[in-house]
Structure 1
Amino acid sequence: MRQPSMPIRSPFESSIAKPGQGTVVLSLLPPANPTLTTLTYKYPLKLVPRAPGFVPSPEPSALSDSCPSRPIHLYLLTYGGGLLPGDHIEVSITLDAKTRMVVTTPQGSTKIFKTDPNNSDNSPNVIKGHRKQMPVNEHLSDMSKQTLDVRIGRQAALCYLPDPSVPFQHSRYSQVQTFTVDATAKGDERSSLCVLDWVTQGRTSRGEDWNFRFWRGRNEVWATDEKTGKSRLLLRDSVILDDETEDSEDDDLDEDHRGTDSHSGRVDTPPPQAGLAPMNVLQERTRPHGVVGTLILSGPVFDSLGSFLINQFASQPRIGSRNWSAATPSSVPEPSLSTKGNVTWTAARVRAGFVLVKFGAKDFETAKHWLGGLLREEGSVIREFGEEALFCL
Structure 2
Amino acid sequence: MFSSTQKNMELASGKGEDKPETVIKTEKSQSRPEAKGRAVFQPTRENGQVVAVTNTVLQYTYPLKLLLPQNVSETKTCQWLYVITFGGGLVAGDNIQLDIELAEECTVVVTTQASTKVFHRVDDLVTCQTVEAKVGAGSLLVFLPDPVVCYKDAAYRQKQVFHLKQGSSLVLLDWYTSGRIARGECWEFQSYHSTNSIHLDDRLVFRDVVHLQDTPLLPVHQAMAQYNVVGMCVLIGPALSNLYNKLLKELGRSKPYGYKYNMEVVLSVSPLRFKKEEEEIHGAVVRVMAFTTTQVFTEMERILQELFPRLGGNPFENKY
TM-score range, shorter chain: 0.7 to 0.9
Is residue 36 of structure 1 aligned with residue 19 of structure 2?
A: no
The question of whether the paired residues in 2 share the 8 Å contact of 1:147 and 1:175 is answered with yes
Say which of 292, 295, 302 aligns to 1:363. Answer: 292
Match of 2:183 in 1: 206
Say which of 202, 208, 224 aligns to 1:286. Answer: 224
Aligned equivalents of 1:19, 1:348: Cα separation in 2: 36
Instruction: Output aligned runs, 1:32-111, within 5 Å.
Output: 32-52=51-71, 54=73, 70-108=77-115, 110-111=116-117
Deviations 1:174-195 (A, max 9, x none): 101100011xx3xxxx101101
Q: CA deviation at 1:242?
A: 1.2
Aligned equivalents of 1:365, 1:315: Cα separation in 2: 25
The question of whether the paired residues in 2 share the 8 Å contact of 1:146 and 1:176 is answered with yes
RMSD of aligned alpha carbons: 2.2
Closer, same or farther: CA 355–296 of 1 in aligned 2, 3 Å? same
Instruction: Output aligned runs, 1:223-262, within 5 Å.
Output: 223-224=200-201, 231-244=202-215
SS at match of 2:242: helix
Match of 1:166 in 2: 149
**Unaligned residue ranges in structure 2 (runs of 5+):** 1-32, 275-281
Aligned equivalents of 1:146, 1:75: Cα separation in 2: 16
Closer, same or farther: CA 348–19 of 1 in aligned 2, 3 Å? closer
More helix by share: 1
**Unaligned residue ranges in structure 1 (runs of 5+):** 1-17, 57-68, 116-126, 128-135, 225-230, 249-278, 323-331
The question of whether the paired residues in 1 share the 8 Å contact of 2:169 and 2:239 is answered with yes
Aligned equivalents of 1:162, 1:37: Cα separation in 2: 22
- What amino acid maps onto 2:233 in structure 1? L
Q: CA deviation at 1:295?
A: 0.4
SS at match of 1:389: coil
Match of 2:248 in 1: 310
Aligned equivalents of 2:134, 2:251: Cα separation in 1: 31
Aligned equivalents of 1:303, 1:370: Cα separation in 2: 19
SS at match of 1:354: strand
Aligned equivalents of 1:386, 1:151: Cα separation in 2: 22
Deviations 1:355-376 (A, max 9, x none): 011111122222222332333x
Aligned equivalents of 1:220, 1:90: Cα separation in 2: 16
Aligned equivalents of 2:99, 2:89: Cα separation in 1: 19
Aligned equivalents of 1:91, 1:312: Cα separation in 2: 35
- What amino acid maps onto 2:43 in structure 1? L
- What amino acid maps onto 1:283 in structure 2? H
SS at match of 2:302: helix
Of 349-358 and 147-156, deviating more is: 349-358
- What amino acid maps onto 1:204 in structure 2? I
Say which of 244, 262, 265 aligns to 1:343. Answer: 265
Aligned equivalents of 1:368, 1:46: Cα separation in 2: 24
More strand by share: 2
SS at match of 2:315: helix
Q: CA deviation at 1:29?
A: 3.0
Aligned equivalents of 1:212, 1:84: Cα separation in 2: 13
The question of whether the paired residues in 2 share the 8 Å contact of 1:25 and 1:94 is answered with yes
Aligned equivalents of 2:286, 2:139: Cα separation in 1: 22
Larger radius of gyration: 1
Aligned equivalents of 2:88, 2:254: Cα separation in 1: 39
Aligned residue-pair number: 276
* Larger RCO, structure (CA 8 Å, separation 6 or more): 2
Match of 2:307 in 1: 381
